[in-house]
Structure 1
Amino acid sequence: MATTTTTTCSTFGLPKLLHSTFTHNLNLSSSSSPPSSRNHPWLSSNPKPRTTVSISSCLVDSSSVKPASPKVSVQTRMWNWKGYSIRYQCAGNSGPALVLIHGFGANSDHWRKNIPVLAESHRVFAIDLIGYGYSDKPNPRELGDAPFYTFETWGAQLNDFCTDVVKDKAFFICNSIGGLVGLQAAVADPSICTGVMVINISLRMLHITKQPWYGRPLIRSFQNLLRNTPVGKFFFQTVATKESVKNILCQCYHDTSQVTDELVDAILRPGLEPGAADVFLEFICYSDGPLPEELLPQVKCPVVVVWGDKDPWEPIELGRAYGEFDPVEDFIALPGVGHCPQDEAPHLVNPLVESFVARHATMKS
């Protein structure tokens, strides 16, 4: 049974642009109305009683949060995975191992405000999933008919990373679609994952099962248009600009002052590398695969769900249902925070990570 905590205080996935196109402009989903079990059958399960705990903003004063020690050095390294070069960042010499997993269109730099702080008492690794950041971006059309950029692929990559690089069990700290990657990895090999924190996990509202029957042909047609005609590359070119990236980030960050030039550059620059457009188009046409509500019942380790309640892409009204699954020990709402709390409000997220890990860690120096 999850405890629901509200933390009162003083993001990024490009497929949400398509979600907005389909669901808001074409009115194909119920996001403009209260969630119901008719539109979302997984909400119809009998809810378990919850304890609600409110934490006053005075208890989370950002001015009192200790900054990262200047002695913490963050290193960038490359790892060879099945012949592909994978970029990751690491810091910290002792303590439990954490692996930070970014969302769609992002990379390990999206954790730049978290790595040095967490590394003071943990061994921290942040990975660029294959296809993103400065990891290789193989053309999916050259890899056979089966989809390559899937949660199964990324889950396998994450578990292999823990085996080859971390060399230890690890906590998975995940944002957006990274949450599905972490859950998929935890289900695929329960011996590797100690616990999972999902932060504004993707609801996957473009999944075929979450769209009404009358909207599915339109979605499939538009996805085929993007993937199989020059329209897709043109669409990507309109998105992969500094102005567009900033506008998208300002949609999903409630505190838009956190959308800095540094952040825009961190997201945009690797997205301009060769192969990025093919990965982008492949994933936005990926309407199958696992859903959070399918993975959560299979997870054997503790899970914490964190949710910025001003997320315009993943409504907290739908996200609260994830707190009812047995592995979930806490559902923590962050009022006034958007889709990427780890970057928008790191002074709130970092202590939550430390607390979660402290409850379940087996220390290894």
Structure 2
Amino acid sequence: MTTTSAIALNPTKTWFWQGFPICYQTQGTTGPAVVLVHGFGASWGHWRKNIPSLATNCRVFAIDLLGFGDSAKPTPGEKISYNFETWAQQIADFCREIIQEPAILVGNSIGCIAVMQTAVSYPDTARGVALINCSLRLLHDSKLQNLPWLRRAGAPLLQKILSIKAVGRFFFHQIARPNTVKKILLQAYGSPQAVTDELVDILMQPAADPGAADVFLAFTAYSSGPLPEELLPKLPCPAIILWGTADPWEPIELGRELGDFPAVMKFIPLEGVGHCPQDEAPEIVNLILQDWIWEMNRAIDRKV
């Protein structure tokens, strides 16, 4: 992935997982391991403003989930399903094979569900999880009845229409355009200044890859699987939650309820920030994560 950012980053690396090339970025040589996991449609580049700062005291790894960024985008089928169980296994295997020790897992949006599923299914790979504007999965089958009737009826109908390959691919190519992507980002971000051409380019480049449309359609049809309120009670490690108060997609009023689970050590609202605080307000997010990682290390050292 090529970016125009002035922030110094290392060349990306490739790890082969189940025969598929997986792209990741890494920086830092000392301290605890931290794995950064992006949200839907994004990639490791969404953490470009966080990696150098965290790498001053940590070994940072930002991974492209299978189907996204510069990682492989195999056609969904019998061998590969684009769901949280698949991504959890990918993250866990990455910790075991590349990092070779448990890591602190940090996610944004659907990346939060992926890191929680990793910690629950593979507790030996996670020392803690940080959730940034966690996806509440409001279009999940079990939550449709709580939506206004128009959205309750419209969501399954749209999924059915998009399941027609020709229609779905046409729809994907209509939204995978720079102007459309920029409009979507301007809705999601609290600060318009954070929606730069570089950010649009980071999201646009993988959309041109063969298979990108099929991955998009496979996930839009995925309305089952784990919910955050199902995973948090099972979490075997401490958690912290950060939430931009201006997020139009994942309301903080609902997000606050996640802070009531025993595993959650802190719930920190970020005033005026939208769905992707790590990119919109990196100077705030970086400090919070650094302090929390330091606290985690002290707690572990005391136990040892």
Structures share a fold, TM > 0.5? yes
Does 1:81 find its partner at 2:14? no
- Offset of residue 192 of structure 1: 1.2
2:240 aligned counterpart, secondary structure:
strand
Does 1:244 find its partner at 2:180? yes
- Separation (CA, whole Å) in 2 of partners of 1:331 and 1:74: 32
Residue 197 of structure 1 contacts residue 304 of structure 1 at CA under 8 Å; is this kept in 2? yes
- Partner residue, 1:210: 143
- Offset of residue 73 of structure 1: 5.0
2:201 aligned counterpart, secondary structure:
helix
State the one-letter code of the partner of 2:263.
P
1:321 aligned counterpart, secondary structure:
helix
- Partner residue, 2:267: 331
State the one-letter code of the partner of 2:122.
D
- Separation (CA, whole Å) in 2 of partners of 1:348 and 1:358: 16
Does 1:289 find its partner at 2:222? no
- Partner residue, 1:194: 127
Does 1:123 find its partner at 2:56? no
State the one-letter code of the partner of 1:99.
V
Partner deviation per Cα, 1:42-64 (whole Å, 9 max, x = no partner):
xxxxxxxxxxxxxxxxxxxxxxx
- Partner residue, 1:351: 287
Match of 1:140 among 72, 76, 80: 76
Partner deviation per Cα, 1:294-316 (whole Å, 9 max, x = no partner):
00000010000100000000000
- Separation (CA, whole Å) in 2 of partners of 1:125 and 1:196: 14
- Separation (CA, whole Å) in 2 of partners of 1:96 and 1:204: 31
Higher helix share: 2
Partner deviation per Cα, 1:106-151 (whole Å, 9 max, x = no partner):
000000000011111100000000000000000004x36xx70000
Residue 76 of structure 1 contacts residue 89 of structure 1 at CA under 8 Å; is this kept in 2? yes
Residue 312 of structure 1 contacts residue 338 of structure 1 at CA under 8 Å; is this kept in 2? yes
- Offset of residue 230 of structure 1: 1.6
Match of 2:206 among 256, 267, 270: 270
- Partner residue, 2:296: 360
Residue 101 of structure 1 contacts residue 126 of structure 1 at CA under 8 Å; is this kept in 2? yes
Q: For 1:1-365, list aligned pairs within 5 A.
A: 73-141=9-77, 143=78, 148-212=81-145, 218-361=154-297
Partner deviation per Cα, 1:260-280 (whole Å, 9 max, x = no partner):
000100011111111000000
TM-score normalised according to structure 1 size = 0.77
- Percent identical pairs in the alignment equals 50
1:132 aligned counterpart, secondary structure:
coil
- Offset of residue 246 of structure 1: 0.5
- Offset of residue 217 of structure 1: 5.6
State the one-letter code of the partner of 1:152.
E
1:288 aligned counterpart, secondary structure:
coil
Residue 246 of structure 1 contacts residue 264 of structure 1 at CA under 8 Å; is this kept in 2? yes
State the one-letter code of the partner of 1:230.
A
1:171 aligned counterpart, secondary structure:
strand
- Offset of residue 168 of structure 1: 1.3
Q: 1:131 to 1:345 in 2, by over 3 A?
A: same
Number of residue pairs the alignment of both structures matches: 291
Residue 75 of structure 1 contacts residue 91 of structure 1 at CA under 8 Å; is this kept in 2? no
- Offset of residue 229 of structure 1: 3.9
2:145 aligned counterpart, secondary structure:
coil
- Offset of residue 220 of structure 1: 2.6
- Separation (CA, whole Å) in 2 of partners of 1:359 and 1:139: 42
Q: Mind listing any 5+ residue stretches in structure 2 that lack a counterpart?
A: 1-6
With CA pairs under 8 Å and 6+ residues apart, which has the higher RCO, 1 or 2?
Answer: 1
- Offset of residue 212 of structure 1: 1.4
Residue 193 of structure 1 contacts residue 301 of structure 1 at CA under 8 Å; is this kept in 2? yes
- Offset of residue 75 of structure 1: 3.4
Segment of structure 1 superposing worse, 219-228 or 165-174: 219-228
- Separation (CA, whole Å) in 2 of partners of 1:334 and 1:152: 30
- Offset of residue 218 of structure 1: 4.3
TM-score normalised according to structure 2 size = 0.92
- Separation (CA, whole Å) in 1 of partners of 2:112 and 2:163: 25
Q: Mind listing any 5+ residue stretches in structure 1 that lack a counterpart?
A: 1-69
- Separation (CA, whole Å) in 1 of partners of 2:196 and 2:122: 38
- Separation (CA, whole Å) in 2 of partners of 1:190 and 1:246: 38
